Amino acid sequence: MSDQRSEVYLKVQSTLKEFREKLTELSNTDLSGIHVDKEWSWIPYVKDHLDFLAEQTAGVEGALRDTPPPVSEDDIKRMTEKNPQ
C-alpha cells in the first residue's frame, strides 16, 4: 500500500481520533450522578459504555485501510484470513 493516503481516509482517521479522544475525556469526568436507563441496558454505568465506545473506535481507527473494499466473497475471505497468501 502506498504511504500517500486519500483525503477521505485522512478525514475518517482524524474524525475517529477526535471522537475517541472526546469519549475518553468524557469518561474521565465524574459520571457518578448519571446512569443509563435499564430499559436500554442492564449496565447502569455510563463510564462502562463510554469506555467500550472508545475501545471500539480505537479498533476501527487502527484497522482502517486506504484501499478499495472487498467486492466478492473470496476477497472478504482473503482479508479475514490470519495469514493471507
Residues 6 or more apart whose Cβ sits within 8 Å of residue 83: none
Predicted pLDDT at 1: 43
Cβ pair 36, 43 in contact under 8 A: yes
Predicted pLDDT at 21: 96
- Tens of pLDDT, residues 8-33: 999 999 999 999 999 999 999 999 89
Predicted pLDDT at 84: 53
Cβ contacts of 24-28, under 8 Å, gap ≥ 24 = 24/50, 24/54, 26/50, 27/51, 27/54
Mean pLDDT of 44-62: 94
Domain ranges for the chain: 7-80
Cβ pair 3, 51 in contact under 8 A: no
